[in-house]
Amino acid sequence: MPALVDDGAPGSLVLPDGRSIEFAIRYSTRARSARLRVGAREGLVVVVPAGLQRERVNLLVASKRDWIATKLDDIEAIRHLIPKVSPARPQAFDLPALAETWRVEYREMRRASVGAKTDQPGRIVVFGAISDVDACHAALRRWLARRAAEALPPWLERVAAQCGQQPAAVAIKNQRTRWGSCAASGRISLNCKLLFLPRELVRYVMVHELCHLVEPNHSHRFWAQVRRSEGTADHLHGQMRDAWKHVPPWAQRGSGTAL
């Protein structure tokens, strides 16, 4: 059985203001508890453990009506900024986290796939069947993940030394709804799209996840730990709410609202 299975039949919910919305239900063989996410493109998605009764799913979603309504309002306020069509191939882009600017060149080659490589400092070459715009975007996302794998783990190591914590391992992912996560095993995962953020926000995400090594929750003790490690944590946390806007459309594989 796949790790994540779409239920197929959407659920429905009436919000406090009378709006009626539908939501997708996805059963996960890996999920230990239910989780809700609200995205600009997917709307409300509910991921629940495999076998959880539909009635219990509906009750859970209903109990979160106020939170869902707030998230939907937040997204509606910025919906006009979300591109309606697939963007063109980028000719250049910045990675503020690393103070880097990259120019992109495209070379048509007789091959079915598309790849991307660093040709020289500051220049990426995308090669292959470059008439396929989506494939070019995917190749650039793979390049981005490789660049993040080079830059983010040593950066996290330096921040960890400052915070007095040490993760068991570091993973680089292209997560759709999270900038980072910390597993019970002590492994910290970082989103490769962090490279599009200002340096202070990247450091804040790292501090946030490192503090989860001490407090694996979002309790008052956790936030106190974050503030001890980062004096401007409250200000930076507020900036993270709109941080996804730093990410160009070609690099996005979805849009979410949570850290």
Which contiguous run of DSSP H or E holds residue 156? helix 133-163
Same domain for 121 and 231: yes
4, β-bridge pairs: 28
Q: Which of 81, 101, 128 is the last residue of a domain?
A: 81
Same domain for 150 and 121: yes
Average pLDDT value for residue range 19-29: 83
Residue count of the chain: 259
Task: Tell me the pLDDT tens digit for each residue of 232-244.
Answer: 999 999 898 888 8
Please check whether residue 256 lies inside any domain of the structure: no
Name the phi and psi angles at 203, rounded to 5: -60, -40
| Of residues 59, 62, 32, the one with CA closest to residue 47 | 32
Same domain for 98 and 76: no
Task: Tell me the pLDDT tens digit for each residue of 78-133.
Answer: 665 555 555 589 999 999 999 999 999 999 998 889 999 999 989 999 999 999 99
* Domain count within the chain: 2
Please check whether residue 86 lies inside any domain of the structure: no
Same domain for 153 and 129: yes
Same domain for 98 and 74: no
Q: Which amino acid is at 119?
A: D
Task: Tell me the pLDDT tens digit for each residue of 202-241.
Answer: 999 999 999 999 999 889 999 999 999 999 999 999 898 8
Please check whether residue 212 lies inside any domain of the structure: yes
Same domain for 160 and 226: yes
- Enclosing domain of residue 70: 4-81
| CATH number for 188 | 3.30.2010.10
Same domain for 149 and 46: no
